Structure 1
């Protein structure tokens, strides 16, 4: 049987249309069901002559089921001339057919078997529109910094750009010799290639998500501080900030020691703190944290950010959220552990000050957004970087600590990390671990604080005549159930704290006392996420 030229052209057009439509319909959920990237090797060549990068990516994949096509996230060339153009894809010595479009790179391959492991070599070049930030720092020196969160890696490297797909990675960075290069993992090789070019090879042997898979290339002054449990700690700063930068970034030492002693061994083989062009105050890239270029002052003002980003090495980088909606498992944890470090290092008063400030910030945010912490309606993941994920998430951990007590809380935290290190978890996984450790049913606790919007708003009245009468009104909907500590101050200078479980809209309680009451205080020891709308004495 033969096919006429006109019919052949029509069939080819139909085939291409079907392939493109199928490509555009694919999403990360489908990809995650079919493939698991287990290793990336990226060879990146950088130049001072232009912003064009040349890349060769080797992507090693384990297939979960028989398929003949799959896609990676990769931004194609755009009308403004940014984006990446693929020139070839090979498996061993065989060319692989591919289609690039709609931020996807679709490969058509020989039929796989479940469990097959194959490696694909993708050669490409282009100007990154995002992800790898090529620019000048505040001193007008040229720099190159990866900045991938949440799913911006696809702008410069072909990946599965989702936190659920973790892989090991190695970087071969070729750049002009007047730069130093840093990447995830340990330094394997540094070779002068001649022609004013240097090759730097970094290798990360622990699986990490693409959101924290980066390189940094710039003129650096580098200080190697010390080793903590065989982990080398270093500071990488612009030469102009050498003295102040080395002083400020030394704050990493006590923060690292705190996390190791309270949670577990450091999950990677180095900790480098790097001055960079990240858009964020700090970005927790695994093993090499990038801080904003204005992070250095010589006054230690960035200590809280340093503690926060170091906490992320455990929570976010090693034990990662399974999808972005559960980012509080990263940001809420890092915020609370930043505060816990301050409690350990500077005392309870410093800790309480930070917790109160966090509570006020989250309550202010609630005036503009009634979303819960786990908000599955968000499509712009950058909008998840809000006080719900950070400050309110931190408060969930704080209230859980009160619910369980310090011993069970810390046992649960360590158990959760041990179970999910180098892996992924959802909020319900964390809940299950804490229930197992404590023997308590925490379903209602997590449901109201994570999946329900709002918080308790309390209007309280009290009066004293032979007995103390207290009326507590929840003025918000839906209602919450929580323990409320009330400090009662007496005219003789003494005081006592009583705890009432509040679940209804109005709770009225009478407390017999022979002492005259002078005043009352709600939540005197700062354990409850709530808003006090009024506290009135009635005659």
Structure 2
């Protein structure tokens, strides 16, 4: 599963801030019976948000004979249970477990099939507050959003699919499946495996028959229903399909079109053929996470939807798509045996993003992604969490920056320690040895030890089965005769052992690279040199997961930018140099970074560049102008425009006007910002000529610009886009701006504006709840109730009801 990074960060901050390793020991679920095959026949009562189903569950005793079966079945009405055509006694325990007495004891390898007729009521099957865990979701048009399409989709992870069909809902179970779905004829369906047949019924419905012969875990079962356009690709004779709403049909290949290339890349890299029948992806409304790797039927949130003007800048979903593709090996083919071992799924999927970026865009691009992952982990209050941990309050707590980001970073270290040939050969062995089964961390260790011939307990014990990371203070001293340099390593807090590379730079970029082994709190390493070093660079590869504190002088930073090779070290040097731009050498070094090979570092240099004394910085300005016009990356051109805008020079008016004709939304946005500072009135006239799609994309700046003038013609736009700013407005200035905006809109006689206002308010409670900002949301909505204009408004009762409803959802 790909978790939305903002959601993930906030969930961590607002739930288990200090130590997630709480609660009882969480073992792998005991296997009494094993699933063999699951056949379902379902139809829907859409007005009631219920499913009417039949299930044929084939099982076999795991080892010892058994005369009883316990199935997870949450919140259902059980109509009948039979075995071999005969009704069987059962107990429906606490509306959660269906316990069936068999007709006799069954032995290992002896199969039996239980038939269950039932009605699933996912809203009632929770037994908890989190509606995101109901397994089956009915999405319908609402009064606030009558254009919302009717959709039905499922989300099984962690153990939520038992809200819509009886099963043994545990990741250590594997079953093949058949699914018959009856829907209105106008709807498309998607499930795991292959669509075998479609049969039209006399009542205006159609029954689709999906089948997957290869076994997978129950949480990977998927069902999606709705009015979708299906855009088809193919790869090696397999169907590659993209299910999108009609509006996005022309863009589906631009969003998802690299999927076949990704499948081929991972297959070649891992040496294990893609085992499944097809690969489909579907985008749904109101999804509860980022994406989910349901076998052959991946679901994405509507964040995947992007316009052409966004895709020309960057496909923001590409890492998510890659994440879910590699899950089909790590997670679907080989599944973590328990949620304690979740990293055996998610760490690999997370690292799969890096591997794809490295292959497709080069090492700098991938290393920039890796560095961001490291920052996310370190800044997320995760220091005291084991990667694989057997104590947690809820399985959902495992979906954090340890299982994901830290896990990926650890795999990167393991790869670099073993070398590519050993590492990927070891992964191949791990996948083949455990295919269509389950695994825990030690099975990965044993596979890599078998291939490498190395004992890896030391690595797994400190990185997989323990917590924290090295915090290293580095210093160095030069001998009296400048013939030796000694590098001092001091580990604060936890002490780790690890290989470490130290580069010693002398004149003209010449360096000697030394690999040492750090195995204590304090270690010093001495190296021969021919002259005083210009730079000592510790851990230049960016591989080690550590916080390294090594003070650099400005001269060292300038030298580091010029000669160091890694993205990490160049970025660090730019940040130091940017703080010293009054120094001419520093400014010249930052100017040279405007031409860095990495477009991300070109953007960073543009953002940091100080052109206050513009007349003495003509050479740098000339480079910025060229980047604004000619850089191959639109994101760089946009950043260059923002830098030029700071000069407030009328000579750029024509450039900004021309930039507003770009196909790139970011370039257009930067041009509007630049032009607005020079000629507000003409800027807004020019904005009026832009398409609605473009203007919608510019909401973050246009809302503010429209609020400055408060022209009634722009009120519908402002009211429509206010909801985009309803997060984290604890800042008083921002809060007051939004309050002022709501007050202005609330005075409107425009039905459209009031409808948008009510929608914003109705969404506010859900949005705040989703992002963890409960108290901010409550305080904001309380203030809304104080508005005299709303209190006197003709829609007063409707608006007040919406506000109180939002507050109630936050207070649950």
* TM-score, normalised relative to structure 1: 0.90
Q: Is 1:126 aligned to residue 109 of structure 2?
A: no
Residue deviations 1:42-74, cap 9 Å, x none? Answer: 111014443121010100001132222221111
- Equivalent residue in structure 2 for 1:146, among 139, 148, 154: 154
Pair 357,204 (structure 1): closer, same or farther in 2 beyond 3 Å: same
Pair 270,30 (structure 1): closer, same or farther in 2 beyond 3 Å: closer
- Equivalent residue in structure 1 for 2:417, among 403, 412, 430: 403
Counterpart for residue 38 of structure 1: 36
Question: What is the distance in 2 between the residues matched to 1:330 and 1:29?
Answer: 17
Pair 417,247 (structure 1): closer, same or farther in 2 beyond 3 Å: same
Counterpart for residue 346 of structure 1: 361
Q: How is 1:199-218 mapped onto 2 (pairs within 5 angstroms)?
A: 199-218=207-226
Query: What is the CA-CA distance between 1:229 and the residue it aligns to?
Result: 2.1
Residue deviations 1:367-394, cap 9 Å, x none? Answer: 3551110111114111111111111111
Query: What is the CA-CA distance between 1:244 and the residue it aligns to?
Result: 2.2
Pair 63,473 (structure 1): closer, same or farther in 2 beyond 3 Å: same
Pair 29,176 (structure 1): closer, same or farther in 2 beyond 3 Å: farther
Q: Is 1:474 aligned to residue 491 of structure 2?
A: yes
CA contact (8 A) 1:245 1:297 kept: no
Task: Please give the root-mean-square deviation of Cα atoms over the aligned residues, in Å.
Answer: 1.8
Q: How is 1:452-463 mapped onto 2 (pairs within 5 angstroms)?
A: 452-463=466-477
CA contact (8 A) 2:26 2:390 kept: no
Counterpart for residue 72 of structure 2: 73
3-state SS in 2 of match to 1:195 = coil
Counterpart for residue 781 of structure 2: none
- Equivalent residue in structure 1 for 2:523, among 507, 513, 516: 507
Counterpart for residue 93 of structure 1: 85
3-state SS in 1 of match to 2:277 = coil
Give the 4+ runs in structure 1 shifted more than 6 A. 27-31
Question: What is the distance in 2 between the residues matched to 1:352 and 1:48?
Answer: 47
**Higher mean Cα deviation, 356-365 or 420-429?**
356-365
Counterpart for residue 446 of structure 1: 460
CA contact (8 A) 1:319 1:425 kept: yes
CA contact (8 A) 1:74 1:155 kept: yes
Q: How is 1:35-434 mapped onto 2 (pairs within 5 angstroms)?
A: 35-64=33-62, 65-75=64-74, 83-102=75-94, 103-115=96-108, 116-129=110-123, 130-136=134-140, 139-226=147-234, 228-263=235-270, 264-277=272-285, 278-298=287-307, 299=311, 300-365=315-380, 367-434=381-448
Could you tell me which runs of 5 or more consecutive residues in structure 2 were left unpaired when the two chains were aligned. 1-24, 124-133, 554-812
Question: What is the distance in 1 between the residues matched to 2:169 and 2:46?
Answer: 28
Q: How many residues align?
A: 501
3-state SS in 2 of match to 1:37 = strand
Greater strand share, structure number:
1
CA contact (8 A) 1:41 1:59 kept: yes
Question: What is the distance in 2 between the residues matched to 1:373 and 1:293?
Answer: 30
3-state SS in 2 of match to 1:111 = strand
Question: What is the distance in 1 between the residues matched to 2:441 and 2:27?
Answer: 19
Residue deviations 1:439-480, cap 9 Å, x none? Answer: 110011111001111011100111223221211000022x11
3-state SS in 2 of match to 1:109 = strand
Question: What is the distance in 2 between the residues matched to 1:350 and 1:321?
Answer: 30
CA contact (8 A) 2:45 2:52 kept: no
**Higher mean Cα deviation, 490-499 or 147-156?**
490-499
Query: What is the CA-CA distance between 1:28 and the residue it aligns to?
Result: 11
Pair 30,104 (structure 1): closer, same or farther in 2 beyond 3 Å: farther
Question: What is the distance in 1 between the residues matched to 2:26 and 2:382?
Answer: 31
Pair 348,165 (structure 1): closer, same or farther in 2 beyond 3 Å: same
Question: What is the distance in 2 between the residues matched to 1:313 and 1:362?
Answer: 25
**Higher mean Cα deviation, 378-387 or 444-453?**
378-387
Question: What is the distance in 2 between the residues matched to 1:492 and 1:363?
Answer: 35
3-state SS in 2 of match to 1:517 = coil
Greater helix share, structure number:
2
Query: What is the CA-CA distance between 1:182 and the residue it aligns to?
Result: 0.8
3-state SS in 2 of match to 1:141 = coil
Counterpart for residue 22 of structure 1: none
CA contact (8 A) 1:462 1:536 kept: no
Question: What is the distance in 2 between the residues matched to 1:30 and 1:484?
Answer: 37
Question: What is the distance in 2 between the residues matched to 1:421 and 1:232?
Answer: 22
Question: What is the distance in 2 between the residues matched to 1:368 and 1:352?
Answer: 22
- Structure number with greater Rg is 2
CA contact (8 A) 1:471 1:509 kept: yes
Query: What is the CA-CA distance between 1:536 and the residue it aligns to?
Result: 6.2
Pair 402,508 (structure 1): closer, same or farther in 2 beyond 3 Å: same
3-state SS in 1 of match to 2:509 = coil
CA contact (8 A) 2:120 2:163 kept: no
3-state SS in 1 of match to 2:467 = coil
Query: What is the CA-CA distance between 1:533 and the residue it aligns to?
Result: 2.9
Q: Is 1:495 aligned to residue 511 of structure 2?
A: yes
Question: What is the distance in 2 between the residues matched to 1:341 and 1:182?
Answer: 27
Question: What is the distance in 2 between the residues matched to 1:31 and 1:61?
Answer: 16
Pair 495,369 (structure 1): closer, same or farther in 2 beyond 3 Å: closer
Query: What is the CA-CA distance between 1:242 and the residue it aligns to?
Result: 1.6
Counterpart for residue 638 of structure 2: none
Residue deviations 1:467-521, cap 9 Å, x none? Answer: 21211000022x1100111222224432222121101100012212112212222
Question: What is the distance in 2 between the residues matched to 1:517 and 1:342?
Answer: 35
Residue deviations 1:180-200, cap 9 Å, x none? Answer: 111111011101112111100
Question: What is the distance in 2 between the residues matched to 1:42 and 1:245?
Answer: 31
